[in-house]
Amino acid sequence: MRGKPAPKRAVEGDAKYNDVSIAKFINYVMERGKKSAAEKIVYGAFDILKDKTKQDPRHIFNKAIKKVSPLVEVRGKRVGGANYQVPFQVRGERRYFLACNWMIVAAEDRKGHSMAEKLAYEILDASNGDGAAFRKREAVHKMAESNKAFAHFSR
């Protein structure tokens, strides 16, 4: 690696709730630089959550992120000509990114409704410990558990 790594830029809070985690989520939803479209989707999903549950959508969103965030993941490591799936602990930033990404992909895979509705239902399912994103986390944890024998390769 040449030079020094680029410094991390601080993300400002979002327009409506002034929350950094929601601003980051909007940035993950954004495609082709269209931030206003991503804001419409996320805020629309939050409005649907508010109507459905009569609770603060930020609380439901944070609960969903906490339930979907993985604690461990497996990475491939080559040792002596063989590839092993080695379980590693996940750092906080990556944990948040994976949770958001899995929720967005799971929402995109749902059929029928608008993206805001699909995202709202996925967030609601994730906060209840259900849904495709939550199942993805369980699958990753199960994979790490089954490859626990190779944890000594983690250095």
Domains in the chain: boundaries = 20-153
The mean predicted confidence, pLDDT, of the chain is: 91
pLDDT at 155: 67
Q: Global pTM?
A: 0.89
Q: What six digits make up the tokens of 152? A: 């000594």
As a residue count, the chain comes to 155
Nearest CA among 58, 51, 65 for reference residue 19: 58
Report d(CA 53, CA 100) in Å as an integer.
Answer: 21
Report d(CA 66, CA 99) in Å as an integer.
Answer: 8
**Higher pLDDT pick, 123 / 145:** 123
What does the DSSP 8-state code read for residue 110? S
Report d(CA 135, CA 130) in Å as an integer.
Answer: 7
Confidence of residue 30 (pLDDT cuts 50, 70, 90): very high
The CATH class that applies to domain 20-153 reads mainly alpha
Percent of the chain with pLDDT over 90: 70
Best-predicted range by mean pLDDT among 11-15, 41-45, 140-144? 41-45
pLDDT tens-digit readout, 39-98: 999 999 999 999 999 999 999 999 999 999 999 988 888 888 888 878 888 998 999 999
pLDDT at 78: 85
Q: What six digits make up the tokens of 37? A: 């479209």
Report d(CA 49, CA 42) in Å as an integer.
Answer: 10
Which residue type, as a one-letter code, is found at position 86? V
Q: Is-contact 79 151, C-beta < 8 A?
A: no
Q: Is-contact 8 17, C-beta < 8 A?
A: no
How many other CB atoms are found less than 10 A from the CB of residue 59? 12
Nearest CA among 110, 30, 53, 18 for reference residue 119: 110
